[in-house]
Amino acid sequence: MLSRVANAIYWLNRYIERAENVARFIDANYHLTLDIPESADDQWQPLINTTGDHELFKDLYGEATRENAIEFLAFDRNNFNSIYSCVRAARENARSIREYISSEMWEQLNTFYLMMNTAARESSLDLPHQFFVDIMNASHTFIGITESTMTHGEGWNFGRLGRMLERADKTSRIVDVKYFILLPSVDYVGSPYDNILWAALLRSASAFEMYRKRFGRIDPQNIIDFLLLNRDFPRSIHFCLATAMKAMNLITGSEQGTYANKAEQELGRLMAEFQYASLDEIFDRGLHEYLDNTQLRINEVGNAIHKVFFNMDVDT
Amino acid sequence: MKFDRYDTEGFYDELFTPDGHPRPGAELVVRRINNLPEQELQRRQLAAEKALLNLGITFNVYSNEAQTEKIFPFDIVPRIVQANEWTRLEEGLRQRIQALNAFIHDVYNKQQIIKDGIIPADLVFSADGYRKPCIGLNPIHGVWCHITGTDLVRAADGEFYVLEDNLRCPSGVSYVLENRLIMKRTFPMVFDSCSVQPVTDYPSRLLDMLQEMAPHGLRSPTVAVWTPGIYNSAYFEHSFLAQQMGVQLVEGNDLIVRRGEVMMRTTKGLERVDVIYRRIDDDFMDPKVFRADSMLGVPGLMEAFSKGNVALANAPGTGVADDKAVYAYVPEIIRYYLNEDPIINNVPTYACWREEDRAYVLEHLDELVVKAVNESGGYGMLIGPHATQAEREEFRRRIQAKPRTYIAQPTLALSRVPVLVDDHFEGRHVDLRPYILYGKDSIYVLPGGLTRVALKKGSLVVNSSQGGGSKDTWVLNSQGGPSPESTLAGKEGLSC
Structural domains of chain B, with CATH:
1-134+146-200+321-346+431-496 (no CATH), 348-411 (3.30.1490.270)
Residues 6+ apart with CB under 8 A from B20: B6, B8
Residues 6+ apart with CB under 8 A from B437: B146, B147, B205, B206, B209, B443, B444, B445, B446
- Measured between beta carbons, the chain B residues lying within 8 angstroms of A251 are 267
Given this model, what pLDDT does residue B258 score? Answer: 95
- Measured between beta carbons, the chain B residues lying within 8 angstroms of A103 are 55, 243, 494-496
- Measured between beta carbons, the chain B residues lying within 8 angstroms of A107 are 54-56, 494
In terms of DSSP bridges, do strands B311-313 and B275-278 run parallel, antiparallel, or are they unpaired?
parallel
Last residue of a domain, one of A124, A150, A176: A150
pLDDT higher than threshold 60 for residue B64:
no
The whole-angstrom separation of Cα B477 and Cα B87 is 10
**A196 and A294 fall within a common domain:** yes
Judge whether A107 and B54 are in contact, CB under 8 Å: yes
Q: How many residues are present in chain A? A: 316
Q: Which pLDDT band, with edges at 50, 70 and 90, does A91 fall under?
A: very high
Q: What is the mean pLDDT of residues B399-420?
A: 92
Q: What is the mean pLDDT of residues A235-243?
A: 97
pLDDT digit string, tens, across residues B77-94: 999 999 999 999 999 999
pLDDT higher than threshold 90 for residue B449:
yes
- Measured between beta carbons, the chain A residues lying within 8 angstroms of B65 are none
Bond preceding residue A7 cis, omega within 30 of 0:
no
CB-CB under 8 Å, B249 with A100: yes
From the list B54, B243, B269, which residue is nearest A98 (CB)? B243
Q: What is the mean pLDDT of residues A278-295?
A: 93
Given this model, what pLDDT does residue B462 score? Answer: 82
B73 vs B484, residue with greater confidence: B73
Min distance B424 CA to chain A CA atoms (Å): 30
Please state the domain count of chain A: 2
Cβ atoms within 10 A of the Cβ of A131, count? 22
Given this model, what pLDDT does residue B65 score? Answer: 46
pLDDT higher than threshold 50 for residue B487:
no
Q: Which pLDDT band, with edges at 50, 70 and 90, does B344 fall under?
A: very high
B62 vs B192, residue with greater confidence: B192
**A220 and A261 fall within a common domain:** yes
pLDDT digit string, tens, across residues B452-478: 999 888 888 887 767 789 999 999 987
Alpha-helical regions (H) of B171-259: 173-186, 188-193, 202-212, 235-245
**Residue in chain B lying closest to A95 (CA):** B230
The whole-angstrom separation of Cα A102 and Cα A150 is 6
A19-23, A33-37, B328-332: least confidently modelled range = A33-37
Interface test with B, best of A2, A103, A106, A121 (most B CBs within 10 A): A2
B185 vs A186, residue with greater confidence: B185
Dump the DSSP string for A112-136: HHHHHHHHHHSS--S-HHHHHHHHH
Residues 6+ apart with CB under 8 A from A78: A56, A60
Q: What is the mean pLDDT of residues B300-324?
A: 95
pLDDT higher than threshold 50 for residue B495:
no
Fill in the DSSP letter of residue B415: -
pLDDT digit string, tens, across residues B156-181: 999 999 999 999 989 999 999 999 99
pLDDT higher than threshold 60 for residue B480:
no
The whole-angstrom separation of Cα A288 and Cα A140 is 30
Given this model, what pLDDT does residue B479 score? Answer: 62
Given this model, what pLDDT does residue A188 score? Answer: 56
pLDDT higher than threshold 50 for residue A153:
yes
Given this model, what pLDDT does residue B423 score? Answer: 86
Q: Is A126 exposed, middle or buried (0-12, 13-18, 19+ CB in 10 A)?
A: exposed
- Measured between beta carbons, the chain B residues lying within 8 angstroms of A310 are 267
CB-CB under 8 Å, A107 with B267: no
pLDDT higher than threshold 70 for residue B483:
no
Residue percentage of chain B with pLDDT more than 70: 93
B432 forms bridges with which residues in the sheet? Answer: B152, B451
End-to-end Cα, chain A, rounded Å: 21
The whole-angstrom separation of Cα A196 and Cα A181 is 14
Min distance A12 CA to chain B CA atoms (Å): 15
Alpha-carbon distances of B294 from B132, B133, B227, B313, rounded to whole Å: 18, 16, 14, 20
**Residue in chain B lying closest to A308 (CA):** B267
Given this model, what pLDDT does residue B493 score? Answer: 32
Tell me the residue range of the domain where A247 lies: 158-316
Q: What is the mean pLDDT of residues B192-221?
A: 92
**A145 and A163 fall within a common domain:** no
Q: Is B149 exposed, middle or buried (0-12, 13-18, 19+ CB in 10 A)?
A: buried
Given this model, what pLDDT does residue A125 score? Answer: 60
Q: What is the mean pLDDT of residues B355-371?
A: 93
The whole-angstrom separation of Cα A309 and Cα B400 is 59
End-to-end Cα, chain B, rounded Å: 30
B350 forms bridges with which residues in the sheet? Answer: B408
Alpha-carbon distances of B196 from B14, B35, B160, rounded to whole Å: 16, 21, 20
**A119 and A62 fall within a common domain:** yes
**A139 and A189 fall within a common domain:** no
From the list A95, A103, A314, which residue is nearest B230 (CB)? A95
Nearest CA among B96, B175, B143 for reference residue B432: B175
**A127 and A179 fall within a common domain:** no
Contact residues, A window 78-117, toward B, CB-based 8 Å cutoff: 92, 95-100, 103-104, 106-107, 110-111, 114
Residue B378, CB half-sphere, CA atoms under 13 Å: how many?
13
Last residue of a domain, one of A128, A150, A172: A150
Q: Which pLDDT band, with edges at 50, 70 and 90, does B482 fall under?
A: very low
**A238 and A305 fall within a common domain:** yes
The whole-angstrom separation of Cα A108 and Cα A114 is 10
Given this model, what pLDDT does residue A314 score? Answer: 67
CB-CB under 8 Å, B229 with A107: no
**Residue in chain B lying closest to A112 (CA):** B54
The whole-angstrom separation of Cα B444 and Cα B2 is 38
CB-CB under 8 Å, B265 with A2: yes
In terms of DSSP bridges, do strands B261-266 and B223-226 run parallel, antiparallel, or are they unpaired?
unpaired
- Measured between beta carbons, the chain B residues lying within 8 angstroms of A110 are 54-56
- Measured between beta carbons, the chain B residues lying within 8 angstroms of A3 are 254, 265-267
CB-CB under 8 Å, A99 with B270: no
Q: Which H or E run contains A210?
A: helix A208-215
**A203 and A82 fall within a common domain:** no
> Which phi and psi angles does B256 have, rounded to 5°?
-155, 145
**A142 and A217 fall within a common domain:** no
The whole-angstrom separation of Cα B211 and Cα B205 is 10
pLDDT higher than threshold 80 for residue B485:
no
**Residue in chain B lying closest to A93 (CA):** B230
pLDDT higher than threshold 50 for residue B242:
yes
The whole-angstrom separation of Cα A205 and Cα A191 is 23
Judge whether B475 and B87 are in contact, CB under 8 Å: no
CB-CB under 8 Å, B53 with A114: yes
A181-185, A306-310, B432-436: least confidently modelled range = A181-185
Residue B51, CB half-sphere, CA atoms under 13 Å: how many?
20
Last residue of a domain, one of A108, A133, A150: A150
- Measured between beta carbons, the chain B residues lying within 8 angstroms of A92 are 230
Give A129-133's long-range contacts (Cβ < 8 A, gap of 24+).
A129/A27, A129/A30, A129/A31, A131/A74, A132/A23, A132/A24, A132/A26, A132/A27, A132/A30, A133/A27
A121-130, B259-268, B313-322, B401-410: least confidently modelled range = A121-130
Given this model, what pLDDT does residue B373 score? Answer: 83
Q: What is the mean pLDDT of chain B?
A: 89
**A144 and A168 fall within a common domain:** no
Fill in the DSSP letter of residue A186: G
Q: What is the mean pLDDT of residues B147-157?
A: 95
B140 vs B422, residue with greater confidence: B140
Given this model, what pLDDT does residue B486 score? Answer: 44
Quick check: A154 contacting B, CB < 8 Å? yes
Min distance B166 CA to chain A CA atoms (Å): 25
User: If you count residue pairs, one on A and one on B, with CB atoms under 8 Å apart, how many are there?
Assistant: 69
Q: What is the mean pLDDT of residues B479-486?
A: 49
Q: What is the mean pLDDT of residues A158-177?
A: 94
Q: What is the mean pLDDT of chain A?
A: 89
The whole-angstrom separation of Cα B198 and Cα B186 is 16
**A188 and A315 fall within a common domain:** yes
Full-model pTM: 0.86
Q: Which pLDDT band, with edges at 50, 70 and 90, does B381 fall under?
A: confident
pLDDT higher than threshold 60 for residue B481:
no
Nearest CA among B347, B362, B446, B447 for reference residue B403: B362
Interface test with A, best of B267, B272, B298 (most A CBs within 10 A): B267
Q: Which H or E run contains B69?
A: strand B69-71
From the list A3, A92, A107, which residue is nearest B267 (CB)? A3
**A217 and A180 fall within a common domain:** yes
Reported ipTM: the value is: 0.82
